[in-house]
């Protein structure tokens, strides 16, 4: 939970991080002597055997202290991120979590961003009840059942690759509020907020189109930030196989809904494939996330393993070395900053077959069309998730 008053440095000084594991190691060491003394009385072990055992155990204690230090650093620094004391941005997340794993990374990043005050998570597209279970279990892992969940418009029965993670899980077990009508909950949250809401949309947008139909005034009271479209380039081997313009999934899945959303009179910011399609954690940045023992990050990695294992032939190698493309995390970042991206105001038109075309006669959208510093963004992501600064 947020502790706006107490700076992290006052409660998690660096000396604790190194001294605590050392004291624990010393205790282990002393109890080891007791153990050896007792054994010697009984079995009279010879000096060489005792020395060998000492050396092996000393090594094990050293490794334990090292792991203990790392775990504490990870946990303390991750917690210190929620001691942000600035003004927080109220956000609603609309997500198709449970499909591509990047939504789960995005939700975790959002939970680890103290600048963002999450008012509601709404599930969008397909089997929205299944998606709500993933969201609920992730929020439980984060200890954030104070965040309500809205079940979006139900558009299918099929579950998806993360299904084994919520097998046997019932939404009735969620300690927080679950709204059956997620669109109504989204409208009420926006209309009832004393401050404008930032609506972060990281999936197809049937919920948002329906909300605009039911209450058009939400466009005056919210800013839309989305992962949508493809303007000039896509990542290599994405979609049609080239690196040219493609009909991006979040638009292509429900183009009519997207047309309605892009025509609404709100401030819009998007990360198209041109920028979000190039984000991936590898090397030390990925390793830090994979090894972090923060509960919600562990839940994220469990999901990543399940998702990857369900379709990737060499999933263990992939899981051991890098993330998938983390498209949706860029939309979360745009809710709080644009610093690392090249932004352009462009007229954007959504076609009936799901393309986003630059058309200066269309309504203007703030578009992230390039990276100023992609490695810095990847460092930002790793640091948000683990609390450890990695360059
Ligand atoms: Ca998504």
Angle at Cα 291 formed by Cα 289 and Cα 295, nearest 5°?
80
We report the CATH number of the domain holding residue 222 as 3.90.245.10
pLDDT score of 40: 36
Last residue of a domain, one of 81, 113, 141: 81
Residues 192-208: what's their mean pLDDT?
98
317 within domain boundaries:
no
Indicate whether 251 belongs to any domain. yes
230 & 161 share domain: yes
Mean pLDDT lowest among 3-12, 176-185, 275-284, 373-382: 3-12
pLDDT at 391 over 70: yes
Residue at 157 is within a domain: yes
CA 269–ligand 1 middle distance (angstroms) = 16
| Single pTM value for the model | 0.79
Q: How far apart are the CA of 77 and the centre of ligand 1, in A?
A: 28
Could you tell me the distance, in angstroms and rounded to a whole number, from the CA of residue 249 to the centre of ligand 1? 9
Are 38 and 148 members of one domain? no
Query: What separation in Å is there between the alpha carbon of 109 and the centre of ligand 1?
Result: 14
Average pLDDT over residues 179-184: 98
The pLDDT of residue 52: 56
Q: Based on the fold, state whether residues 142 and 257 are members of the same structural domain.
A: yes
pLDDT band at 313 (very low <50, low <70, confident <90, very high): confident
Count the domains in the chain.
2
> Is there a single domain that holds both residue 68 and residue 114?
no
Same domain, 121 and 187: yes
Q: Are 155 and 22 found together in one domain?
A: no
Q: Do 154 and 240 belong together in one domain? A: yes
Distance between Cα 20 and ligand 1 center (Å): 41
Give the least confident one: 58-62, 162-166, 195-199. Answer: 58-62
DSSP string, 317-380: HHHHHB----TTHHHHHHTT--TTEEEEEEEEEE-TTS-EEE-TTSPEEEEEEEES-HHHHHHH
Please compute the mean of the pLDDT values over residues 35-62 and round it to a whole number.
Answer: 44
Q: Say what the pLDDT of residue 314 is.
A: 81
Q: What is the pLDDT of residue 318?
A: 86
If asked whether residues 95 and 223 sit together in one domain, one would say: yes
Ligand 1 centroid distance, CA of 102 (Å): 6
64 and 121 together in one domain? no
Does residue 31 sit in the same domain as residue 108? no
Dist. CA 122 → ligand 1 center (Å): 12
Whether residue 238 sits in one domain with residue 119: yes
CA of 339 to the centre of ligand 1 (A): 23
Q: Decide which of 50, 81, 112 is a domain's last residue.
A: 81
Q: From 30, 62, 81, give the residue that closes a domain.
A: 81
**349, two tokens:** 């038109």
| Pairwise CA distance, residues 349 & 364, whole Å | 9
State the distance from the centre of ligand 1 to the C-alpha of 381, rounded, in angstroms: 17
Average pLDDT, the chain: 83
CA–centroid distance, residue 201 to ligand 1 (Å): 8
Whole-number Å distance, alpha carbon 329 to ligand 1 midpoint, is 9
Which pLDDT belongs to residue 18? 37
Rounded to the nearest angstrom, the distance between the alpha carbon of 40 and the centre of ligand 1 is 63
228 C-alpha to center of ligand 1: Å?
9
Tell me which of 270 and 51 has the higher pLDDT. Answer: 270
For residue 89, give both structure tokens. 């941005």
* Structural domain boundaries, residue 56: 8-81
Residue 13 CA, ligand 1 centroid: distance in Å: 38
Query: Could you tell me if residue 77 is inside a domain?
Result: yes
Report which of residues 238 and 320 the model is more confident about.
320
Model confidence over 216-261: pLDDT tens digits? 999 999 999 999 999 999 988 776 556 689 999 999 999 999 999 9
């Amino acid at each position: 939970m947020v502790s706006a008053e107490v700076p992290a440095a006052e409660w998690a000084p660096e000396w604790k991080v190194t001294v605590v594991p050392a004291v624990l190691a010393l205790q282990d060491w002393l109890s080891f002597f007791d153990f050896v003394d007792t054994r010697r009385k009984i079995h009279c072990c010879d000096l060489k055997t005792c020395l060998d055992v000492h050396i092996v155990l000393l090594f094990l204690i050293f490794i334990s202290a090292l792991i203990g230090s790392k775990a504490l650093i990870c946990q303390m620094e991750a917690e210190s991120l929620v001691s942000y004391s600035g003004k927080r941005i109220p956000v609603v997340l609309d997500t198709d979590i449970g499909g591509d794993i990047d939504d789960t990374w995005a939700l975790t990043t959002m939970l680890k961003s103290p600048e963002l005050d999450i008012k509601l998570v709404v599930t969008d597209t397909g089997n929205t009840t299944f998606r709500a279970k993933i969201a609920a279990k992730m929020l439980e892992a984060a200890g954030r059942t104070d965040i309500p969940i809205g079940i979006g418009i139900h558009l299918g029965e099929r579950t998806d690759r993360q299904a084994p993670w919520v097998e046997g899980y019932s939404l009735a077990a969620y300690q927080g509020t679950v709204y059956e009508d997620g669109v109504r909950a989204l409208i009420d949250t926006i209309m009832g907020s004393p401050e404008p809401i930032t609506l972060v949309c990281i999936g197809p947008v049937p919920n948002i189109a329906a909300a605009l139909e039911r209450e058009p005034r939400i466009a005056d009271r919210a800013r839309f930030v989305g992962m949508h479209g493809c303007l000039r380039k896509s990542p290599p081997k994405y979609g049609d196989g080239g690196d040219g313009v493609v009909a991006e999934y979040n638009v292509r899945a429900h183009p009519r809904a997207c047309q309605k959303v892009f025509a609404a009179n709100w401030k819009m910011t998007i990360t198209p494939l041109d920028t979000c399609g190039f984000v991936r954690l590898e090397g030390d940045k990925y390793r830090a996330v994979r090894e972090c023992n923060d509960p919600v990050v562990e839940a994220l990695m469990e999901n990543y393993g399940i998702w990857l294992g369900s379709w990737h032939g060499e999933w263990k190698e992939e899981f051991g070395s890098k993330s998938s493309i983390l498209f949706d995390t860029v939309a979360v970042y745009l809710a709080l900053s644009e610093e690392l991206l090249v932004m352009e105001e462009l007229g954007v038109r959504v076609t009936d077959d799901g393309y986003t075309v630059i058309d200066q006669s269309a309504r203007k959208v703030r578009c992230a069309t390039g990276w100023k510093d992609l490695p810095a963004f990847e460092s930002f992501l790793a640091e948000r998730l683990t609390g450890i600064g990695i360059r």
